[in-house]
Structures are given as structure tokens and as C-alpha cells.
Structure 1
Amino acid sequence: MVNSKVFWGIVTAAAAGAVIGMLFAPEEGTQIRKKIKKRTNSLASELIDALEKSKDKAGKTADDLKAKGEQYKSEFKDKAEEIKEDAADEIEKYN
């Protein structure tokens, strides 16, 4: 949560700084608009890359958790079967 806030703060500050810098630059409006467009596209690409990495990481984490859950399920099932067999043996002793 904190990392995403820092990330968005940096992205916002960079975009605002780029736009303000270009608006005060001594260039023609068309040149400034081209630079703004180029920088905006660059920032959008960086953002998309960051989001795709986050998505991949989340998918990997989900897969890891699923595998771990399956492992625990198997271990608990084996343990329950063992307890069931021990209980049946104890019942047999008293019959």
C-alpha cells in the first residue's frame, strides 16, 4: 500500500514537473505539445509495464498459495486418516 502511494506520488510529480517545465520553455506551442505527447506516452508505457509486473507477481503469489494450500490439504488428510486408523485400532482392543 505504501509502495503504491510512493509510486503514484513519483509518477504524478514527474508528470507535473514535465508539463510545467515545457509550458515555461521558450519554444513554439507545437513543439511543446509534441514533447508533452511524447513524454505522456513514455510515462504511460512505464505505467503499463509496472502494472504488468504487478499482475505477474500477483499471479505467481496466487499460484504459490494454491500449491501450499494443496500441500496442507494433503497433509491434513493423511493425518486425519492416521488418527481414524488409530481410533479404529483402539476400538478393536475393547471389543
Structure 2
Amino acid sequence: MSTNKIIFGIVTAAVAGAVIGLLLAPEDSKKTIKKLKKKTNELAGDLIAALEKSKAKAADAADQLKKEGEAYADVAREQVGNI
């Protein structure tokens, strides 16, 4: 399972838990809505940060693969030139 799917699952579960907890809490609806908005914004920020981190890791991996591919291509060119 990919890291993004795990992060998405955790965030989704956290949001669902927060919503259920707040809806079942014996508080004024305005306070509940305010808490929901705050928690949603916090979780959205966490999700964005996690996605940006994953994006950076993917970009680094792509760069590394490109460098390795270029190195293999150079070796192959040398070997073909030596034939």
C-alpha cells in the first residue's frame, strides 16, 4: 500500500472521528460547527503538508532514476562504440 493511501486513510478516519464526536457532544450547534471548521482546517493543513512531502520524495526518486538511466545509457554508448 502506498504512503499516500495510508495518509489519506488516516486523515479520513480522523475527520470522521472528529465529526462523529462533535455531533454526539452535548454542545451548542454553533460551537460544534466552529470546532468542526477548526479541526477540518487543521487536518487539511496536515494533509497538504503530507502530500507536499510525498511529492518531494517522488521528485527526488525520479531525479535519481533519471541520473541512473543516463549513466547506463553512457555505458551502453561506450560499449557500442568499442565494438
Higher relative contact order (CA 8 A, sep 6+): 2
- Identity, in percent, stands at 53
1:16-40 per-residue CA deviation (whole Å, 9 max, x = no partner) reads 1101111111211111111000000
* Residue aligning to 1:26: 26
5+ residue gaps, structure 1, are 84-95
Offset of residue 47 of structure 1 = 0.6
RMSD: 1.3
Q: Work out the CA distance in 2 between the residues paired with 1:71 and 1:6.
A: 34
TM-score for both structures, normalised by structure 2: 0.89
* Residue aligning to 2:5: 5
Query: What stretches of structure 1 move > 4 A for 4+ residues in a row?
Result: none
Cα–Cα, structure 1 residues 57 and 2, in superposed 2: closer, same or farther, change >3 Å? closer
Aligned length: 83
5+ residue gaps, structure 2, are none
Q: Work out the CA distance in 1 between the residues paired with 2:60 and 2:22.
A: 41
Q: How does 1:17-56 map to 2 (within 5 A)?
A: 17-56=17-56
1:48-79 per-residue CA deviation (whole Å, 9 max, x = no partner) reads 01110111011111100110111011111111
